[in-house]
Structure 1
Amino acid sequence: MSRFPQLAPFTGGDGVVRVIGHRGARGVMPENTIEGFDFTLSIGVTALEFDVVATADRVPVVTHNLHLANSATRDAQGHWLTGPELRVADLTLAELKTLDVGGLDGRTVYGQRFPDQAFMSGVRIPALSELLDLCSKPGSEAYLLFELKSDPDLQDETAARESLVATAVAEVRKFGLAHRTVLHSFDWKLLDECRRQAPDMPTSYLSQLPENDDDPGEDSAKSVGPDYATMTVSVPRAVADAGGQLWCPYFMDLTPDLVAEAHDLGLPVCTWTVNETADIDRMIDAGVDGIVTDYPGRVQRHLLNRGLRWQ
């Protein structure tokens, strides 16, 4: 058994496959928002996956891309942003809070990916502290798969990496949630820094092989990840050798043999981002511990149909 109790909600078992809400429940609610996370918790999915980026005034906020997607962002007058996408690191928290992220522009490629997502107004990018406050309320059982986003332009700046980790970890500790937090990244070097600063929190290694395309409208993480072409061992072995406690591969990269190897190495496997029922079935059959999904309700119902549980 791992010495990290935080891993229990991300580890499957006999008849159990964990469900992890991706950016809350992006398929049906505005992503990475308090409204979306609150919905996800309300349906009995207590494991949340989300992304953290720092603002110009060094406040950690919950948003996926390093730039604000025009297809998902409106100004104070309700107009969709246009032109070059705004960089989160160039805006203060107060400036971010003037923007509305409660809906998607259905005319865009990204907006068309999620036609069932609710359209809301007055929804703001949350500071990390707002999400941690929600998750620390009495009675909450939320567990956090907490992705730290690396800026490819700052890959050689040690101070930037140290600052991002230090600020985020300090917020987690302030809200007393270290015992429910797993630190998670595509940037394996950043995870070394996480272990140095927060040895009491397990590290989760995201991976995506270069032959698989990025989804439209998403920042690519390939430039901050390891060089898979030079690896002389399997990815799960590389994760274990690097000191990881959880492996989170892209579902298109996963096979039953790799899941079995990871388990032999003591690594739970939570795969991302699995939305279609055929892929959900394939991941269950492969033996994964958890499924990261934009549609947690869909995965819940599919597990029930197969006589399985998620808690």
Structure 2
Amino acid sequence: MTHPWFQGTTVPRVLAHRGLVTQADASHAVAENSFAAVAAAHAAGCVYVESDCHLTSDGVVVLFHDADLTRVTGDPRRVADVTVRELEALMAGRGGLITLAQALDAFPDVRFNLDVKAPTAAGAVGTIIAPHADRVLVTSFSDARRRDALAAAETAGSGILPATSAGTSTIVRLLVAVAAHSDRLVSRPLRGIDAIQVPERKGRVRVVTPRLIDAAHRSGVEVHVWTVNDPADMRRLVDMGVDGIVTDRADVALRTLRT
């Protein structure tokens, strides 16, 4: 059966990458993954918001991409070394900090695509999302971290497991299987996987190909491509059969792909 995260919405899916920060918002210092960025994506009509999870020093899961605060706030400390109160103060003029629990509470009709960035965050992420598993997809570059979050959700009494997309090691195995033209080998790494979320290219290697898309679809798995900001590229990828576009310009993507 298709996971509820995918149900009742249409393909292609538009995933707002770290929320939505328009040029106007950026001029007012609004940062990615802030409360304001998630709210802007929601206001633009986005059903899906992609974000990232780190754990503060006092054990709060926050939506934040980098391991340290330098790029977003100018503070050189790591997320893991500050309290949630300290991070709230740093983000106050940048759109406002949003914790994972706050995001799920404040935006009950948003479906979240959550990348677990820190190993220490996996258990806490799983516990928090357990009551909301129908509208959460869990991912990580680390398959072990992704599985830890899913296991924590199950332990916390999740009625169903969250949806999940493959980590790097699974993607590598899949690409090898696709190159070998083996449906049997393709099905193995995709067992228990709902989507693969990949860049179109990795260096000189083309990752997204018609063969990969067809192989994933034969296994009932969607293909989402990140991070795509050019409307022509969005249309081209959707014409290839891609199911989802992860983009910094969700407003542009919605206009481009819904007309």
What is the TM-score with the length of structure 1 in the denominator? 0.68
Q: 1:229 to 1:295 in 2, by over 3 A?
A: same
Summarize deviations over 1:17-43 as a string: whole Å, max 9, x none.
Answer: 111111001454421011111111112
Check the 8 A contact 1:206/1:249 in 2, yes or no: no
SS in 2 for 1:261: helix
Aligned AA (1:128): L
SS in 1 for 2:222: coil
Alignment of 1:219-238 (within 5 A): 228=172, 232-234=176-178, 237=186
Unaligned runs of 5+ in 1: 74-79, 102-120, 152-159, 208-224, 306-311
Alignment of 1:1-311 (within 5 A): 1-2=1-2, 4-8=3-7, 12=10, 16-28=11-23, 29=25, 30-70=31-71, 72-73=72-73, 80-81=74-75, 85-100=76-91, 121=93, 123-136=95-108, 141-150=109-118, 160=120, 164-173=121-130, 176-199=131-154, 200-207=161-168, 228=172, 232-234=176-178, 237=186, 240-241=189-190, 243-252=192-201, 253-305=207-259
SS in 2 for 1:300: helix
SS in 2 for 1:99: helix
Q: 1:96 to 1:239 in 2, by over 3 A?
A: farther
Q: 1:230 to 1:282 in 2, by over 3 A?
A: closer
Cα distance in 2, alignment partners of residues 185 and 95 from structure 1:
26
Deviation at 1:88, TM superposition (A): 0.7
Cα distance in 2, alignment partners of residues 230 and 289 from structure 1:
18
* RMSD of aligned Cα (Å): 2.7
Larger strand fraction of residues: 2
Identity %: 28
SS in 2 for 1:262: helix
Structure with bigger RCO (C-alpha 8 Å, 6+ apart): 1
SS in 2 for 1:98: helix
Q: 1:27 to 1:250 in 2, by over 3 A?
A: farther
Cα distance in 1, alignment partners of residues 171 and 252 from structure 2:
34
Deviation at 1:46, TM superposition (A): 1.2
SS in 1 for 2:16: strand
Larger helix fraction of residues: 2
The number of residues matched between the two structures is 237
